[in-house]
Amino acid sequence: MLKLGILGLGEGRSTISAALASKAYELVVMCDANEETCKARAKEFDFHNYTTQYQDMLDNKEIDVIAIYTPDHLHAEHIKQALQHGKHVICTKPFIDDLSKAHELLEISKQADKKIFVGQSSRFFEPAKRQRKDFEEGLIGELITIEAQYHA
């Protein structure tokens, strides 16, 4: 069983419940810079092991994997720090905001023998959930066609 830390408890909220129900992962600690968010998630999920300091998570020898759900412009630095502390990384998309950073992160990943996984699923994003709910309630009329584009 892999030991997991979750960084960023806004978008990372859905991962908390998934981790707590998982047979593959054990949630060790969750982290957010906003202590009120930590307290709210602790109460919501009845899981009270949290910190507001990313360094606490990095220094925790028990953690194998860090799931990163911070603002996009912070991904590269958070990924780099996790890899340098011997952690595998799960990161929400976009992986990074500047392609020049990718080469460095992939090299660090190889040297540390740690994996980086970039996750993407739009079905749980609030706008997508709201659209489905509106459709199911008949608020947006008959579905005739769907056109979607995705850029990463």
In a domain, 72, yes or no: yes
In a domain, 141, yes or no: no
Across 7-21, 38-52, 117-131, the highest mean pLDDT is recorded for 38-52
In a domain, 135, yes or no: no
pLDDT at 124 over 70: no
In a domain, 23, yes or no: yes
CA distances from 72 to 42, 43, 98 (A): 24, 27, 10
**3-state helix vs strand vs coil in the chain, percent to 5:** 40, 20, 40
Q: pLDDT tens across 72-116, in order? A: 899 999 999 999 999 999 998 888 877 888 889 999 999 999 999
Domain with residue 48: its CATH number is: 3.40.50.720
pLDDT at 120 over 80: no
In a domain, 7, yes or no: yes
Question: How many structural domains comprise the chain?
Answer: 1
Q: pLDDT tens across 135-150, in order? A: 889 888 787 777 766 5
* Domain range enclosing 114: 2-122
pTM for the predicted model, two decimal places: 0.78
In a domain, 128, yes or no: no
